[in-house]
Amino acid sequence: LFERVTRMATRLLASPLGRLAARRVTARAASASAPPAETRDSGDSEKFIKRYPLVARGSGVQCVMKARNVHDIRTDVPKAMGGTDEAPQPVELLLAALVGCEQATAAYVARHMSPRFRLKYVHFSVVGERDDRGATALPVHDPAPCAARLKRVTGEAVVHVRGPAETQARVDELARIVKSRCPVADTLNAAGTELDVRWRCAEE
């Protein structure tokens, strides 16, 4: 009986239908065992890695930084929090990084859209929100009652163009690509921050 079953299975696998089934099973097995696309390494991805060197020295609630050994950056906090309010708060710089990165990304994306998007500039107005208990709840040795991260960024981005006005559909396309390509926006999204910034055409 065993030999009969073996011969039948051999004949089935040798048939066109059997070979097709075998290929499908092999493909499914390979797909199941393959790592996610974001973890696969083509072997030369290192050459695409961009690094951002920064050195800093902090004292109290203030910090002085130097980016690429060229640009000075400072942070402080309001007087009510023990600072001198002589520089932006770190979270304000995070928001600045977001809109600055989106502007740079928008300029790049606009040049490569087809047809080209005639971007002049974007006027951003945003507000970041977080629950302060995530950072300041006492005692500090106990788990905070909520996350310290930014919960939400709201606002608008008003798009100004050169020449004839662009349609809202084209602005929506620009915004969609920017939000997926901007490194800072992508980082905040991955952290769970809701980015609720509406992009619209300027009324010119």
Cβ(157)–Cβ(169) below 8 Å: no
**117-158 pLDDT per residue, tens:** 999 999 999 999 999 999 999 999 999 999 999 999 999 999
Tell me the per-residue pLDDT of 47-67, one tens digit each, with 9 for 90 and over.
899 999 999 999 999 999 999
Is the peptide bond preceding residue 35 cis, with omega within 30 degrees of 0?
Answer: no
Report d(CA 175, CA 3) in Å as an integer: 66
Q: What is the mean pLDDT of the chain?
A: 86
Look up the pTM and report it: 0.77
Neighbours of 77 (CB within 10 A): 20
Q: What pLDDT is stored for residue 46 in this prediction?
A: 87
Per-residue pLDDT at 25: 41
Return the minimum-mean-pLDDT range out of 33-37, 95-99, 103-107, 109-113. Answer: 33-37
CA atoms lying within 13 Å on the CB side of residue 92: 11
